[in-house]
Amino acid sequence: MQQFPCPYCGLRNETEFHFAAESGKTRPDTNTPIDDKHWSDYLYQNYNPKGTSKEVWMHLACREVFLMTRDTVNMDVLEVQALRGEHHD
Amino acid sequence: MYTYVHNKQEADPMTLPYSAWQIAKQSLTNHKNWTPAWRTKQPKKHYDVIVIGAGGHGLATAYYLATQHNIKHVAVLEKNWLGGGNTGRNTTAIRSNYFYPESVALYDLSVRLYENLSAELNYNVMFSQRGMLVMAHSEAEMEMASRMTNAMQINGTDAELWGRKKTAKRIPVLNYSDTARYPIHGGVWQSRAGTGRHDAVAWGYARAADKAGVDIIQNCEVTDFIVEGGRCQGVNTQLGEIRGEQTAMVVAGHSSPLASLAGFSLPLHSYALQAFVTEPIKPVLDTVVFSPSYGTYVSQSDKGGLVFGGALDRVPSYGQKGNLPMQEQVITGLIEMMPIAQRAKLLRHWAGIVDVTPDSSPLIGGTPLPGLALNCGWGTGGFKAIPAGGFLTAHYLAKGGHHEISKPFDLSRFERGELIDEGAASGIAH
């Protein structure tokens, strides 16, 4: 079983983690009208890269959300980054 | 519901028809004079249609372009070897037990085409309509099974609701203990479902497409798209530039990397899907069984191996190997639903990369780049859909628009909000 590093709990079994989304998406401002294309792009489109991928994950045990950069071919974890207290676009 | 042109196979000195007579004739010369099933071609400079990907769907697309639409100037480009991706990695189940009318229309077209495929291709794809049961494990699940059966019947395909007694009589090898983790109450039976020989489907379409004049070019990876005047005009490959009036990408799990070369993204995530086969054992199971609760489905191959699989790995991946947590889930599921399997040794285990859409339904049709069409997003169920996927993609390319059956599966459904959410509706592994 692969182990992923939680920025708060350290190395834990992969089954404790939930893949949430690719990082880098910004929710459109819903105070102004949004056209269907931009809204569906936000909801559904992915780069789904082969190779390095920066993703949002949750550690289900501590419920913290964080960023993990992985290689999607050999499954190496390249970097993890906590989100708490920081501002990300 | 669909029109179909029946073609007589033309004689070609390169490809010998397969028959009892040929076997007898070739035996006189110790089988040394059989010709290759398809020719090895060098790419021409220009084609009417370039199909990227020589898996089942790509080869079927080329075959139907040539035979249904008389478009014979077609190239199928394959970066590895023909049928070496998911077409050769699946667990060979063929079925149309879906919930929504759009899905049943699509997958039942595929089952109907499969029913005549061996004769049409002059190649035995070994489609065995041994039936498939989706099990229900509680009274509540029996009510959902009843709803599913009704939906399938209303949508025009065969379905029966089976209770425990009938299930136990027909499939005695399962675990009918009252103390089983998931006691068997019954399930939804589809008698026309079954299994096929996956490699034979790729080889049969390749042979028939080649015979119809299609160029199949292996070891030819697409490195870029040629875009001129805002339109796709062909591709650059390892073997140089190849131009095409139209291009179709039919590359299963690797659609997103190819789409990024063409300058757009798709609503897809790629995951590994694992499959397993045990050592051969005596016949114990003559149908396909799936339990959504155990998360395992199983059939027995003609050689005797139990062929089984389950859900997708939980981590998005392009590595063609599976991870251990899912292996544990699938294998424990098999052992609990069919306890005699616990002493069987695992012979092989492998994984393929499938691309999954947000609604677990495929993508067929145009892309944001004019001149480039796509066929992808089949998730865990691409093999059963090969004839329909090829038939409908060929129709889209030849007619410049959708067949009635593929229309709901256009990429634009996400913008319109008209999702066909089979992942939620039919509870089938996706």
The pTM of the full predicted model, rounded to 2 decimals, is 0.94
Query: Does a structural domain hold residue B3?
Result: no
- Give pLDDT tens digits for B165-176: 999 999 999 999
Residue B277 sits in the same domain as residue B258:
no
Residue B299 sits in the same domain as residue B384:
no
CATH number of the domain residue B96 falls in: 3.50.50.60
pLDDT of A8 strictly over 80: yes
* Residues in CB range of B93: below 8 A, 6 or more apart: B132, B193, B194, B195, B288, B297, B299, B383, B384
Domain of residue B80: give its range. Answer: 39-124+198-268+359-425
Q: How confident is the model at residue A89 (pLDDT cuts 50, 70, 90)?
A: very low
Query: Does a structural domain hold residue B5?
Result: no
Query: Does a structural domain hold residue B379?
Result: yes
Residue B119 sits in the same domain as residue B202:
yes
DSSP character string of B242-295: EEEEEEEE--GGGHHHHHHHTT--BS-EEEEEEEEEEPP-S----SEEEETTTT
Query: Does a structural domain hold residue B74?
Result: yes
Query: Does a structural domain hold residue B25?
Result: no
Query: Shortest CB distance from A1 goes to which of B260, B325, B414?
Result: B325
- Give pLDDT tens digits for B39-53: 988 999 999 999 999
8 Å CB contact between B256 and B357: no
Given an 8 Å threshold on Cβ–Cβ distance, is B265 in contact with A46? Answer: yes
Chain B interface includes A50 (CB < 8 A): yes
Residue B376 sits in the same domain as residue B236:
yes
Q: In chain A, where are the structural domains located?
A: 1-25+47-89
Residue B202 sits in the same domain as residue B188:
no
Q: Which two tokens stand for residue B311?
A: 């859900």
Distances (CA, A) of B183 to B136, B149, B164, B190, B311: 9, 20, 10, 21, 21
- Helix (H) or strand (E) run with residue B201 in it: helix B198-211
Distances (CA, A) of B291 to B133, B184, B221, B249, B276: 8, 9, 39, 34, 16
Domain boundary among B297, B326, B356: B356
Query: Does a structural domain hold residue B16?
Result: no
CA dihedral B381, B383, B325, B253 (to 10 degrees): -90
Smallest CA–CA distance from B269 into chain A, residue = A48
- Give pLDDT tens digits for B62-96: 999 999 999 999 999 999 999 999 999 999 999 99
pLDDT of A86 = 55
Enumerate the residues of chain B whose CB falls inside 8 A of the CB of residue A72: 270, 316-319
How far does the CA of residue A24 sit from the closest CA of chain B (Å)?
Answer: 14
Residue B45 sits in the same domain as residue B189:
no
pLDDT of B8 strictly over 80: no
Residue B257 sits in the same domain as residue B370:
yes
DSSP character string of B289-353: EEETTTTEEEEE-TTSPEEEEEEEEEEE--SSS--HHHHHHHHHHHHHHSGGGGGSPEEEEEEEE
Q: How confident is the model at residue B17 (pLDDT cuts 50, 70, 90)?
A: confident
Query: Does a structural domain hold residue B12?
Result: no
Q: Which two tokens stand for residue A34?
A: 């949004």
Domain boundary among B323, B356, B389: B356
Instruction: Using the CB atoms, write b or e for B363-392: b if 16+ within 10 Å.
Output: bbbbbebebbbbbbbbbbbbbbbbbbbbbb
- Domain tally, chain B: 2
Residue B261 sits in the same domain as residue B316:
no
Residue B258 sits in the same domain as residue B151:
no
User: For the domain with range A1-25+47-89, which CATH number is right: 3.30.750.200, 3.40.640.10, 1.25.40.10, 3.30.2270.10?
Assistant: 3.30.2270.10
- Give pLDDT tens digits for B310-333: 999 989 999 988 889 999 999 999
Smallest CA–CA distance from B316 into chain A, residue = A72
Residue B119 sits in the same domain as residue B261:
yes
Smallest CA–CA distance from B263 into chain A, residue = A47
Q: Which two tokens stand for residue B188?
A: 């939804």
Q: How confident is the model at residue B4 (pLDDT cuts 50, 70, 90)?
A: low
Smallest CA–CA distance from B353 into chain A, residue = A73
Instruction: Select from B221, B242, B232, B240 the least CA-distant residue to B264.
Output: B232
Domain boundary among B309, B339, B356: B356
Give the total residue count for chain B: 430
Query: Does a structural domain hold residue B69?
Result: yes
8 Å CB contact between B123 and B112: no
How far does the CA of residue A39 sit from the closest CA of chain B (Å)?
Answer: 8
pLDDT of B5 = 63
Q: Which two tokens stand for residue B175?
A: 């675990």
The Cα–Cα gap between B415 and B216 comes to: 36
Enumerate the residues of chain A whose CB falls inside 8 A of the CB of residue B269: 46, 48
The complex scores an ipTM of 0.92
The Cα–Cα gap between B211 and A12 comes to: 55
Residue B315 sits in the same domain as residue B402:
no
Given an 8 Å threshold on Cβ–Cβ distance, is B269 in contact with A75? Answer: no
Chain A interface includes B256 (CB < 8 A): yes
Enumerate the residues of chain B whose CB falls inside 8 A of the CB of residue A13: 325
The Cα–Cα gap between B153 and B160 comes to: 9
pLDDT of A88 strictly over 80: no
Residue B112 sits in the same domain as residue B219:
yes
